[in-house]
Structure 1
Amino acid sequence: MIRLFTFIHVKYYKKSILPAPPYIIIANHTSYFDIFLMYSILPYNHFLFLGKSEILSYPLVKSFFIDLNIPVFRGTGKAARSFVEAKNALKKGWSLAIFPEGGIPDENYPLMIPFKEGAFKLAKTMKVPIIPITYKNNHRLFSDPTHILGPARPGISKVYIHPYFSVESIQNKTIEELREEAFQLISSKL
């Protein structure tokens, strides 16, 4: 539905088999379109977004985001509560989608900024797999990918769904190793 109204199609360059839920989906973040596209490329998978609370200030997204996702209030006591809510969602069988960069880079996109550790800490703690995804060119489909109401154009979103990190491989690595491996894998397709 989202792709129909935006005249954006998806070309999968690699679409790997997904593990049984729950799992954590991680992807690079180059435009606000990434959020909506995630529901389009994984339409039969039930997941919640774990994302920055600032998105609640955008009227277009607020009603959608507040009911279906877990906002992260950074730098406050509520940040720890978000982690607990995320763990509870995974326990209930929900998968989570997280942009480990913590936001859209202000410049030099599609180059990524270093990943935060939350997604990897959560996967390790909850013993769930991680599915890495690369959005190769979404920054080109929005001429200002940092502005939610910025001009957009029709086109083809190029998506890589990489092989997932198994629970066993996650448990055998440090959080730093996981973070670096995921960063290298996702950035290798940019």
Structure 2
Amino acid sequence: MEFIRKILVIIWKIWFYILAALCTLFIGTTIYLLTYQKNDKLTYFFMRLWSYVLFYGMGFTYTLKYSQKLDPKKNYILVSNHTSVMDVALMFILHPNHPIVFVGKKELERYPVFGRIFKKISISVDRSDKKSRADVFPAVKKTITMENKNVVLFPEGGVPDRDTILANFKDGAFISSLYCNAPIVVYAIHNLNNMFPFVFTLGYPGKVKVERLDILYPLNKSKEELKDQTYHLIYEQIKDTPIIHPELK
């Protein structure tokens, strides 16, 4: 039975790569061409289309629980735990009226086609370069205040090992919040580390639970206060979710 499960998961994961390649080739090429036209609304429509095809095409749906609505007139810094490539697609799906830009690793620019798209629609950072790290904050401020967009940062800095519930947070999102005087929207994404991990023989389709936990304002708070509050908000929501085969990386 375990052997059959693995075969089915492998077929499902192969389908993901086919689907991702087709999305990048057709929708991604359209996005890349649109970036030259500076039509942000149309570009964002196709970014969300790419996310919908990838997310629902892999058999996922989602529920969103929240107590506070996002203000359509405000721009935010959006943070969540990060366990899967589907986190990226989810962020686009969750924000139809708050266009988002990701802060991501510069090395993603190396990938054919996708890398060129990423460079056009994201804020890239070379974490080994002090100047590159410092340049992120003015870029985030420009994105929020001048381009009227929202910025997504995964404060873990990447996907942690599978035996880690929530990795220690980097400072970037919280310095950005203070630098831009922008509120932080805190999300918890449940169980995607089991449903679609970076392990080829693990995963399954289904409904992903998402919670918008709080909106934190930087006024009269320090970087450490914002970071600690965000960390504990997310950790308390996901700490009891068992990790399937935590030894597999």
2:97 aligned residue (26, 29, 44): 44
The alpha-carbon deviation at position 64 of structure 1 amounts to 3.8
Point out the more displaced range, 75-84 or 96-105: 75-84
- Secondary structure in structure 2 of the residue aligned to 1:22: coil
- For residues 60 and 158 of structure 1, what CA distance do their matches in structure 2 show? 31
Point out the more displaced range, 17-26 or 59-68: 59-68
- Secondary structure in structure 2 of the residue aligned to 1:164: strand
Q: Cα distance 1:182–1:155, how it changes in 2: closer, same or farther (>3 A)?
A: same
- Indicate if the aligned counterparts of 2:194 and 2:202 stay in contact, CA closer than 8 A: no
Q: Could you report, residue by residue, the CA deviation over 1:74-93 in whole angstroms, capped at 9, with x for unpaired residues?
A: 12132222222112111212
- Indicate if the aligned counterparts of 1:10 and 1:158 stay in contact, CA closer than 8 A: yes
- Indicate if the aligned counterparts of 2:184 and 2:215 stay in contact, CA closer than 8 A: yes
- Secondary structure in structure 1 of the residue aligned to 2:237: coil
2:118 aligned residue (48, 51, 65): 65
Which residue is equivalent to 1:124?
178
Q: Could you report, residue by residue, the CA deviation over 1:67-106 in whole angstroms, capped at 9, with x for unpaired residues?
A: 2111111121322222221121112121101001111002
1:99 aligned residue (148, 151, 154): 154
The alpha-carbon deviation at position 125 of structure 1 amounts to 1.6
- Secondary structure in structure 2 of the residue aligned to 1:134: strand
Higher helix share: 2
2:85 aligned residue (25, 32, 36): 32
Q: Cα distance 1:16–1:142, how it changes in 2: closer, same or farther (>3 A)?
A: same
- For residues 154 and 197 of structure 2, what CA distance do their matches in structure 1 show? 20
- For residues 207 and 109 of structure 2, what CA distance do their matches in structure 1 show? 28
The alpha-carbon deviation at position 143 of structure 1 amounts to 3.9
- Indicate if the aligned counterparts of 2:82 and 2:158 stay in contact, CA closer than 8 A: yes
- Indicate if the aligned counterparts of 1:15 and 1:160 stay in contact, CA closer than 8 A: no
The alpha-carbon deviation at position 13 of structure 1 amounts to 3.2
Which residue is equivalent to 1:83?
137
- Indicate if the aligned counterparts of 1:26 and 1:133 stay in contact, CA closer than 8 A: yes
1:178 aligned residue (226, 236, 248): 226
Q: Cα distance 1:63–1:37, how it changes in 2: closer, same or farther (>3 A)?
A: farther
**TM-score normalised by length of structure 1:** 0.86
Q: Cα distance 1:184–1:155, how it changes in 2: closer, same or farther (>3 A)?
A: same
- Indicate if the aligned counterparts of 2:83 and 2:197 stay in contact, CA closer than 8 A: no
The alpha-carbon deviation at position 38 of structure 1 amounts to 0.6
**TM-score normalised by length of structure 2:** 0.67
Which residue is equivalent to 1:8?
60
The alpha-carbon deviation at position 58 of structure 1 amounts to 4.0
- For residues 136 and 233 of structure 2, what CA distance do their matches in structure 1 show? 27
Query: Alignment identity in percent?
Result: 28
**Which structure 1 segments of 5+ residues have no match?**
none
Greater RCO, 1 or 2 (C-alpha within 8 Å, sep 6+)? 1
Structure 1 or 2, whichever has the larger Rg, is: 2
The alpha-carbon deviation at position 116 of structure 1 amounts to 1.0
**What count of residue pairs does the alignment treat as equivalent?**
183
- Secondary structure in structure 1 of the residue aligned to 2:214: coil
Kindly provide the amino acid, as one letter, of the partner of residue 171 in structure 1. Answer: L
